[in-house]
Structure 1
Amino acid sequence: MTDEQIKSDTKPVAVLYRMVMEKHICPYGLKSKYLLEHKGYEVEDHHLTTREETDAFKEKYGVETTPQTFIREKRIGGYDGVRAFFDKKKEGEKESAYRPIIVIFLMAFLMSVGVSWALPNGPFVISVVEKFIAIAMCLLAVQKLRDLTSFTNQFLGYDLLAQRYVPYAYVYPFAEALAGILMLAGVLVWVSAPIAFFIGTVGAISVYKAVYIDKRELKCACVGGDSEVPLGFVSLTENVLMVAMAIWMVGKTAVLAIL
């Protein structure tokens, strides 16, 4: 029986075998059950409650993993198999390499709007832009600090200063976080601005050389060492924004001091 014939069944029933143990409930089993029910299937839910029972099931059906789904006695497979059966992409399959950076920038923007709305401080649009850059710097620093070793390995591939002085690669995310926090608070501008200006300038020059002069195809370490974001325009923009923010903060502080 073909998949199309199975799907056309007026009263579709799916038989699901999944691990439900005292100390472990298989997440893919739950996802399979939900997807099947969401697609209108009645699920015969069989729990594999012990390791021995699970191993016996695998041996019986000649499979290496659970969960396993059967429809009209045809084995559909695990969670990926169920998704494929319903013509859905494999979960976790990268639809866009830029998704992580888009999510970070969108979250930073929404947070900046929320903070500016709740704590009005000067013109709204200017406040949003200032806080957006500061929050984005903090979020990007967190991504780098999740796995400092992985970040430094990728960062050393293109940053000119880090290639000459390796410890700079380890200092960079802390410096970015510090500058972002101080800029968000609006304090110690004479500390945050030079830091942002320096790391932003070095970063911009490094990215420009690697991408537009040397024509190298690299991954950007801006969202962490496991990033699939291509090194290029996004990376250059991040650094330019830091430089622009540094110059703006210094100029703003100087004007306010004069007034």
Structure 2
Amino acid sequence: MSTIAAGEAGGRRKAVLYRMVMEKHVCPYGLKSKDLLERQGFEVEDHHLTTRAETDAFKDKHGVGTTPQTFIAGERVGGYTELREHFGKRVKSKDETTYQPVIAIFSVAFLMGLAVSWAAYDTIFTLRGIEWFFAISMCLLGIQKLQDIESFSTMFLNYDLLAKRWVPYGKIYPFGETLSGLLMIAGTLTFISAPIALIIGTIGAISVFYAVYVQKRELKCACVGGGSNVPLGFVSLTENLVMIGMGLWMPIRMLVWGA
């Protein structure tokens, strides 16, 4: 009886896994496949493909293009994605829209705002904590764009009205958003941070509203970087409204409280 055919010998829940385990490379999807199988209650017969030649020979023998490969009850299930599907797990497609990056950014920004408020005032219930939340959000969103300015600016050109007329604006925008957020966190140079936030926020809000709600176009939002699958609409509009709000609020705060 072959190793693969023996996958269910003796009535055991057993899976046979072939994965690359080399001196300078251990396939991450092989590790994920092994972990998934074990969490599903399978005993894993773990076969290591330790050389490129051994890996290529295995792929040729079974007519597959990639490893790892899992076999259950003598039948080939496939790689990690197919294994997830086999167990009824959700598999996210490459082009699937998702709000996960936005949720992560705003959640962490909120917690950071509370943390800074606690460090400065020994309480999370402060007005500055809310201001820090919005300012930190601007910085984190700016970082996402700054990771790949070229990709961001290209996606940005799809809908931003100013960028379409003056292309360099797409590469300036992330720096403006980040700088404004940093100055607002520090609570200084409001005469610089507020106008920047107000200007880019207003242009951005008008651009998003026009593209989504007037032209009714379905576009990807560049708000969390050029490689995102976040749909253009509420999220990007919210980002710009936050900047408008901060651009108006910070000068008022400075005039009323003098700080």
What TM-score, normalized to structure 2?
Answer: 0.91
Instruction: Look up the SS of the partner of 2:255 in the other structure.
Output: helix
Shift of 1:122: 9.3
Q: Tell me, in whole angstroms, the C-alpha distance in 1 between the residues paired with 2:123 and 2:177.
A: 25
- Please say if residues 70 and 79 of structure 2, whose CA atoms lie closer than 8 Å, have aligned partners that are also in contact: yes
- Relative to 1, partners in 2 of residues 1:48 and 1:158: Cα closer, same or farther, differing over 3 Å? same
Query: Is the contact made by 1:218 and 1:231 (CA closer than 8 Å) also made in structure 2?
Result: yes
1:74-153 equivalence runs, <5 A = 74-90=75-91, 97-120=98-121, 124-153=125-154
Offset of 1:181 from its aligned partner? Answer: 0.6
Q: Which amino acid aligns with 1:110?
A: L
Residues 95-120 of structure 1 deviation map (CA, whole Å, 9 limit, x = unaligned): 75222111111111111111111112
209 and 91 in structure 1: CA distance in 2 versus 1, 3 angstrom threshold: closer
CA contact (8 A) 1:151 1:221 kept: yes
Amino acid paired to 2:228: S
SS of residue matched to 1:119:
helix
Deviation at 1:145, TM superposition (A): 1.1
Percent of residue pairs bearing the same amino acid type: 60
Residue 121 of structure 2 aligns to a residue whose secondary structure is coil
Alignment of 1:190 with 2:191, yes or no, is yes
Where does residue 3 of structure 1 map in the other structure?
none
Taking the TM superposition and a 5 Å limit, the aligned residue runs for 1:19-58 are 19-58=20-59
Q: How many residues align?
A: 252
CA distance in 1, matches of 2:228, 2:91: 19
- State the Cα distance separating 1:209 from its structure 2 match: 1.6
Whether the 8 Å contact between 1:20 and 1:49 is mirrored in structure 2 is yes
Per mean C-alpha deviation after superposition, the further-off stretch among 55-64 and 205-214 is: 205-214
Q: CA deviation at 1:186?
A: 0.9
Matched residues in 2 for 1:22 and 1:160: separation? 52
Q: Following TM superposition, by how much is the alpha carbon of 1:72 offset from its aligned partner in structure 2, in angstroms?
A: 2.0
Q: 1: CA distance between counterparts of 2:253 and 2:64? A: 66
Aligned residue in 2 for 1:204: 205
What are the residue-to-residue correspondences of 1:157-236 with 2, within 5 Å?
157-236=158-237
2:117/2:124 contact within 8 Å kept: no
Give structure 1 stretches of 5+ with no counterpart: 1-5
Contact 2:97-2:231 at 8 Å conserved across structures: no
What residue ranges of structure 2 are gaps of 5+ in the alignment? 1-6
What is the CA-CA distance between 1:92 and the residue it aligns to?
6.2
Residue 214 (structure 1) shift: 2.0
Per the TM alignment, residue 128 of structure 1 is displaced from its structure 2 partner at its CA by: 2.1
1:2-17 to structure 2, matched below 5 A, reads 10-17=11-18
Deviation at residue 70 of structure 1 after TM alignment: 1.1
| Conservation of the 8 A alpha-carbon contact between 1:80 and 1:91 | no
Q: Residue 91 and residue 34 in structure 1: after superposition, are their counterparts in 2 closer, same or farther (change >3 A)?
A: farther
The answer as to whether partners of 2:70 and 2:76 remain within 8 angstroms in 1 is yes
Write the deviation string for residues 15-48 of structure 1: whole angstroms up to 9, x where unpaired: 1110000110000000011111111111111100
> 1:121–1:127: 8 Å Cα contact kept in structure 2?
no
Q: Give me the whole-angstrom Cα distance separating, in 1, the residues matched to 2:26 and 2:123.
A: 52
How large is the RMSD of aligned CA atoms in angstroms? 2.1
Deviation at 1:62, TM superposition (A): 1.3
Instruction: Provide, for residues 174-221 of structure 1, a one-character-per-residue CA deviation record: whole Å limited to 9, x for no partner.
Output: 010000011011111111111111111111111122122222222211
